[in-house]
Amino acid sequence: MEKRVLYTGEELTSLGVALWMDNYAMIASKFQRPRLAQLFEGFSQELRSGDKKTAGAIPVEDNQPTNFTDLENLIRDCIDARYPALKGAAKDNRGALRAFIWGSKVATILKGILGRLKAQGDGILKEGQAFFVCEGCGFMYIGERAPEICPVCKAPASRFTQY
């Protein structure tokens, strides 16, 4: 099995950033923002292509993370400020409330995965393991196979994408 490098010191590698772009694309599609979802999918595919000439030329918006610390700060900001601010607006809309609950759970889980990635580096993936991302809510799981049911949105294993 090819060893995949996701994190080196303070920088996320192309594959690491591509995983986040996939996650953002799923979230954008859930919020019915197809143009934004398409943009994130394009970023992810460009990063995965491994083409050194184009991978660095991808434009990054000001609010998008460019390194590990920025990503940690963005996740922390989502958990501490953005999700609590959305809670009041979501209480009258069932769909928004579901998205709020799923998003806040996934952000907390991603914060834990980031902590593990920072502490263990590439050791986070043992032999035979991969990242699995739920297409329904963005839940990220590390293991040999996808969970039978997503613990966040209850989607079946078939809705997980392996990276």
Same domain, 60 and 72: no
What is the per-residue pLDDT across 68-122, written as a single tens digit (0 to 9) for each? 777 788 788 878 877 777 777 677 777 778 878 888 888 888 888 888 888 887 7
Residue of higher predicted confidence among 10 and 88: 88
Alpha-helix residue ranges (DSSP H) falling in the chain? 14-30, 34-48, 52-55, 68-77, 83-90, 94-120
> β-strands 140-143, 160-162: how paired?
unpaired
Residue 157 lies in a domain: yes
Pairing of the two strands 160-162 and 130-134 = antiparallel
Q: Which tens digit of pLDDT belongs to each residue from 18-42? A: 777 777 788 777 777 777 778 778 7
114 shares its domain with 74: yes
Choice between 88 and 14, residue whose per-residue pLDDT is larger: 88
Pick from 131, 143, 77: nearest CA to 104: 77
Tokens matching residue 146: 């996808």
Q: Do 59 and 70 fall into the same domain?
A: no
- Domain end position, chosen among 64, 92, 107: 64
Using the 3D structure, point to which of 64, 87, 109 is the last residue of a domain. 64
CB atoms closer than 10 angstroms to residue 125: 19
Provide the pLDDT for residue 101.
85
pTM for the complete prediction? 0.57
d(CA 3, CA 153): 30
CB proximity list for 149: less than 8 A, separation 6 or greater: 155, 156, 157
Domain holding 12, by residue range, is 7-64
Domains: count for the chain: 3
**CATH number of the domain to which 163 belongs:** 2.20.28.10
Residue 2 counted as domain residue = no
Examine the domain organization and report whether 18 and 53 are in the same domain: yes
Pick the last residue of a domain from 64, 79, 107.
64
